[in-house]
Each structure stands twice: as structure tokens, then as C-alpha cells.
Amino acid sequence: MSETVTVPLHEVAHARAGDKGNRSNISLMPYDPAMFPLLAEQVTEARVLALFRHRGATRCTRYDLPKLAAFNFVIDDVLEGGVNGSLNLDGHGKTQSFRLLSLTVTVPKAAVRGG
Amino acid sequence: MTFLVGNGGGFSGDRVDAPIPVMRSLVRRGLPAAMFFETLGERTVALAQLERRRDPELGYEPMLERLLAPILEDGFRHRIPILGNFGAANPPAAGRLVARLAMRLGLPDLRIAVVTGDDVAGSVALDQLPVHEADDSLDMKSARLVAANAYIGAEPLVEALRQGADVVVAGRTSDPALAIAPLAHHFGWRFDDWAKLAVGAACGHLLECGSQITGGVFWDPGFKDIPDPANIGFPIAEVTAEGGLLITKPEDTGGIVDLRTVKEQLLYELHDPSRYITPDVVLDISECSLEQVGKDRVAVHGLRGHPRPDTLKVTASFEGSWLGEGEVSVAGPNALARAKATAEVLLQRMQLRGLPVRARVDLIGVASVLDSDDGALWRSYEGPEPPELRIRLAAEGADRDAVDQAAREVLALLCCGTAGTGGARWRLTPRILTRSYLVLRERVATSVVTRTAGEMVV
């Protein structure tokens, strides 16, 4: 195995968040589709749920789209009531994609830019 | 034969000069085409309804004239119909505005279709319907209805195009319907041809948020750079009779169309990828794949469609509570300690005064949008001292005066706060709560009336 490095997901993937009521969905795509299995192994429903537990998230479901090399995380009760009820500046939770991108993963050093 | 679908706006508040390069590109390419605007968010229709109560000639998209004025003549002369849900809570009044605009531009023969029937507040007994989704804090015993609108599908919009409309003014429609309609009209797609309708739905879904597929909410300097983000070109889809779908954008604009932008938008606000429910078809993207076929050109393959549901979604909006917000800044040495102390004092003031509100404090610059109501992140912050911080209080409650008083506690910090407190702002806003229901589609009767601008302005 080549040398590995632990980095925030932001180094190797991109993401976008959307909302419906008190539920958020965050898509996650590795820049290199070859990284899909590695992320599938490391970015688990349990880890993502834990990342949003402080906001009251109750459930996380991951849909895998291998043909797109993409994941769709659907997180229940994470928006503190959603845009109509939340006291958060960002009631839609659009900024939450970058919380997901702060999660760390261990990847081959060559997979990271400048690596 | 290829048909082009352009998008000129993805929400109420979008860039008002965005439609111009899209229309220019559609005209230059000379293919049959249509353009659509999606300007009606979930709550926008309720805010528009409140506007209409104040003035019966208002309650539609406030930027409508600004959006259409530069493109209306080209659309008319080149037979490129313009569709939009920009009628919001008052499609007839929006239609009259378009008619007056057309007359001013010397286009009395421009045909305007007004689509109504989505407003079901007076025609459907909501309490008899199954609830689909609801805000937790909604108390139905005291809730006062503001608006109830069904998400209607593409069929009435197709009828408007059959009547020769150059501009189709609708209220609440499903977002994808605005793209499905011109495609179904042009190609003669049947409303049980699920494979074709799935292509139309995907086209609408990908385009409905405007620049979100051409670089908007995508660019991340140093990681995902895009050309000229001040001038992002809004999207254009190329669709073939066989159901081919390709996403591109106008020449001479900024932004980018690549596998990354299309993936992000394909999954935007989607839950189960095999079941994206629209009134016209259930779209399934679980086997979808993308192919970059040229610069700013991405082909979408593998779309599947399943039969449409028997029901339409109705979203009802109710008057909610009040939201008060206030902010002040601190900066320089010891800013973090002063900000934390200010936050605690604000919460203490809510208690001391016995204000009946639910309150939260943010430390903008340390933790706010990612934080929770109890401030878990800023309370546990152990990072470096930020050069500046902004302290924000948000308070919610049913009693307007109490919420106002809570927000004004932030203002009082200008004298009572820590050393070097400044830049106070505060505001009070009414909230809207929503509840959605499912209604049998036969219960929602739509109507389409098409007249020329000259007939409408007498």
C-alpha cells in the first residue's frame, strides 16, 4: 500500500446541500471517480450522523450512485425545524455541505493535490 | 430535430440581467426553443399572497417587468415562448403587467396565457386531506391560513402553448413542468410516455435553479474555479425527439458546465434517487450517467420514468410566530472573551425580563450557521483568537412585542455592552409555517385563458 495521508474530505471531494422541511440532503462526489469505493468505505452513515448530532439529527441514509461516482446523504431532523421554524441564520442549511467536507478521510498521498 | 430550453431565473431574487444572454443565444442558434423562469419557492407564494391582500394588483414576482423587458420582443419575433410561475399569488395581475409591457414595446399581438386553478384555498377542504409533511410548531387550532396552492403539472401549460401563447403566466406549478410543457408541446409527447416525460423532468430539474448548474453555488476558489463568476451564463438544454438531453450555456458568458456542476445539480434537493416525484412523472436517476461531449457540453444518459402519482401536492401556508434578530460587533484584542460574555449576558437578559421567547446566540466568525441552538460549537471553541466577531441574537415567539423587546436588547448593548461594542442592527419579521397535503388530481381544476396584449389593455 502506498503512503497515506489523513485530510478533510474537501481535499478530495465536493458537495452540495439542499433542504425539504426539516430534512437535508447533501451530495458528495470525489473529484476522481476511482476514489468512490474508498469514500464508500470511510464516509459511513454513522460517521455522517455523528457529525450532525449536535443539531439533533436522528437518522442518516446514504444512497450510492456508482455510475455518477456520487453519494446522496439524506439527514433527518438536522435543520432545527427547517427554514420556517429555525433560529439559524441559514435555515435552509445550504452551508452544511462544508461541514460534511470537514470530515476527515485517509487516502493515498498521491490522491491529494500537491501530494 | 433538436429543441432548446433556456432558463432565465432560478429563484425570486436571482440576477435580473441573466435572461439576456440566454435569449440572445436561443435566437442566434435558430432552432425551435422556449425559455422558462422558476421564481416561486415554497414560501414565496405565501409572501406574495400577503402582498396581494395589501394591493389586489400585486402578489406576483416583483422583478417580473425587469426580467422580461429586455427579452420580450425577441421572444415574440422569433416564436420563443416564455413560461414562468412568476404569476405567484396573482397570475391575472401578472398577465396584465406583461400586457402593458408588450404595448409599451409595440407588441399588441403578443399572446399572453394566464393559468389559474393552483390556488385551492377556497376550493379544497384541507382538513379532509391526508397530511404529507408539516412544520412541528404548527398548531392547527389557532393557525390562520395565508395560502394553499397545488403543484400543478405540465398539461395546462401545454394547453396554453396550443392556444398560441407567447408568454405563459402561471402561479404554483411543479418546477419541472415548466420545461416538460414546451417539450411535450413541440414533440407531441403523450402524458403517459414515462420515458420521454422523465427526460423532460430531468431537463426541468437540472435547469430550474438557473446558474446552479453552470457554476453558481459551485465555485470554490482554488478548488473549483470557474471563469468570470460575475457573469455566469444561465443554462440551456438541447433535447431531441428521441429523448436525448444535453446541458450547455450561452456563448460569451462566464461559468462552466462540466460533470461536477451537473452532478451537484442532479442530486440537489433529491432524496431517493430512484423516486423523484413530479405531478407528470416519477423520475428515476439511479442508472443515470453523464458524458462531457465538448466544452461546456454535458450529455445526460440513462434516465428512467415511472407512472405519475394520482395525487398532487398542496402546500398550505399559515401565519406563524415572529422572529426578532439583532447583531453587534466586537474587534481587536480580547474580542473572543468579550463576544462570549456578551452572548451570555443577552441570554441572561431574556431570563431577567421574563420574555416569552425561544432564543439563540451565535458568534459569527467562530460558529453560527453550522452551530446548534444551544451554541455547542462556539461554547467549545478552542481555536485562535479571531480578529473580529459579530454577536447575533435570534428570538422567536407568538407575542410580537416580546420578540421586538428581545431584539432590542441587542441595541441596548451599544451603551450597556462590553468595551468597544458597535454596529448594532436589529429587525422583526413575521414567520410563515407550512403544511403539505395530497389531493386527488381531479379535485384541482385549472383554467387557461389566452388573449393578446391589445385585447387585455383597453
Residues A52-108 pLDDT 10s: 999 999 999 999 999 999 999 999 999 988 888 899 999 999 999 999 999 999 999
Query: Is B270 within 8 Å of A25 when comparing Cβ atoms?
Result: yes
Query: Do B278 and B408 have their domain in common?
Result: no
The model's pTM is: 0.96
Query: Do B167 and B198 have their domain in common?
Result: yes
Q: Which residues, in sequence order, are CB contacts of B281 under 8 Å at separation 6+?
A: B180, B194, B197, B198, B200, B201, B305, B306, B307, B308
Pick B369's closest partner by Cβ from A22, A25, A95.
A95
Pick B264's closest partner by Cβ from A27, A54, A98.
A27
Query: Is B288 within 8 Å of A84 when comparing Cβ atoms?
Result: no
Say if CB B350 and CB B409 are below 8 A apart. yes
| Position B430 pLDDT exceeds 60 | yes
Query: Do B160 and B56 have their domain in common?
Result: yes
Query: Do B447 and B431 have their domain in common?
Result: no
Query: Do B253 and B324 have their domain in common?
Result: no
pLDDT tens-digit series, residues B99-158: 999 999 999 999 999 999 999 999 999 888 888 887 767 777 778 999 999 999 999 999
Query: Do B75 and B188 have their domain in common?
Result: yes
Query: Do B30 and B64 have their domain in common?
Result: yes
A102–chain B nearest CA distance, Å? 11
| Position A114 pLDDT exceeds 60 | no
- For residue A88, is it within any domain? no
- For residue A9, is it within any domain? yes
- Say how far apart CA B260 and CA B214 lie, in whole Å: 10
What pLDDT score does B141 carry?
75
- Say how far apart CA B444 and CA B42 lie, in whole Å: 19
| CATH at A24 | 3.30.1360
pLDDT bucket at B43, cuts 50 / 70 / 90 = confident
Say if CB A18 and CB A24 are below 8 A apart. yes
B71–chain A nearest CA distance, Å? 31
pLDDT tens-digit series, residues A5-55: 999 999 999 999 999 889 999 999 999 999 999 999 999 999 999 999 999
Contacts of B286 in chain A (CB under 8 A): 65
Phi/psi at B48 (5° precision):
-65, -35
Q: Which residues, in sequence order, are CB contacts of B162 under 8 Å at separation 6+?
A: B185
- For residue A85, is it within any domain? no
What pLDDT score does B224 carry?
97
Query: Do B174 and B245 have their domain in common?
Result: yes
Query: Do B288 and B330 have their domain in common?
Result: no
| Position B238 pLDDT exceeds 80 | yes
Domain that holds residue A20: 4-80+93-111
Asked if B320 is an interface residue toward chain A (Cβ–Cβ < 8 A), one would say yes
> Which residue from B minimizes the CA distance to A91?
B369
Domain that holds residue B400: 316-436
- For residue B62, is it within any domain? yes
Q: Give residue for cell 414567520.
A: B431
- For residue A50, is it within any domain? yes
> Which residue from A minimizes the CA distance to B318?
A84
pLDDT bucket at B28, cuts 50 / 70 / 90 = very high
The span from the first CA to the last CA of chain B, in angstroms, equals 40
A111–chain B nearest CA distance, Å? 14
| CATH at B325 | 3.30.70.100
What is the average pLDDT across B214-227? 97
Structural domain total, chain A = 1
What is the average pLDDT across B322-345? 98
The overall average pLDDT reported for chain B is 96
Query: Do B326 and B365 have their domain in common?
Result: yes
pLDDT tens-digit series, residues B404-425: 999 999 999 999 999 999 999 9
Pick A14's closest partner by Cβ from B264, B396, B431.
B264
H helix intervals, chain A: 36-42, 45-51, 97-100
- For residue B412, is it within any domain? yes
What pLDDT score does B75 carry?
98
Chain A residues in contact with chain B using a Cβ-Cβ cutoff of 8 Å = 10, 14-16, 18-23, 25, 27, 29, 31, 54-56, 63, 65, 67-68, 70, 72, 74, 80-85, 87-90, 94-96, 98-99
Query: Do B57 and B20 have their domain in common?
Result: yes
Nearest Cα to A71, choosing from A23, A10, A29?
Answer: A29
Residue B257 corresponds to which cell in the numbers above? Answer: 458546465
- For residue B137, is it within any domain? no
Nearest Cα to B91, choosing from B62, B67, B116, B74?
Answer: B116
- For residue A51, is it within any domain? yes
- For residue A73, is it within any domain? yes
Contacts of B364 in chain A (CB under 8 A): 89
Nearest Cα to B225, choosing from A113, A64, A99, A66?
Answer: A113
Q: What is the interface pTM, i.e. ipTM, of the complex?
A: 0.97
Structural domain total, chain B = 2
Neighbours of B319 (CB within 10 A): 15
Query: Do B421 and B296 have their domain in common?
Result: no
What pLDDT score does A1 carry?
57
